[in-house]
Amino acid sequence: MGRLKVFIVSYDVSDPKRLYRVHKTMKGFGDPIHYSVFRCNLSDKDKIELIAILSEIIKHDEDRIMIIDLGFACGDVDNRIDLIGVHPEENNNQAIIF
């Protein structure tokens, strides 16, 4: 496994069935920050796998997924994320990739 990087993945999916499938897939790769925003610690291989799976689920002319690279997980990533209001529960578990 390569070094892990932190990614913020956000999505807009117009169809409820595809939305559910994207959300269920994302739960296997990271932790939800908001309903359609996830924080994922991924290797380069994991990122390629995530993109491949999501690309098969979404309709490319109707849906949108944004992936933001925040850098290596052991860096100062947490200092780059500001939250106002209720903070998401901290989850120290490793993501389960299926």
Binding-site annotation: residue ranges for Mg(2+): 12
Q: 77 exposed, middle or buried (CB, 10 Å; 0-12, 13-18, 19+)?
A: middle
Question: How far is residue 64's CA from residue 95's CA, in Å, rounded to a whole number?
Answer: 23
Residue type, 62: E
* Annotated binding-site positions: 12
- The residues, any chain, with a CB within 8 Å of residue 65's CB and separated by 6 or more, are 9, 10, 11, 12, 22, 54, 58
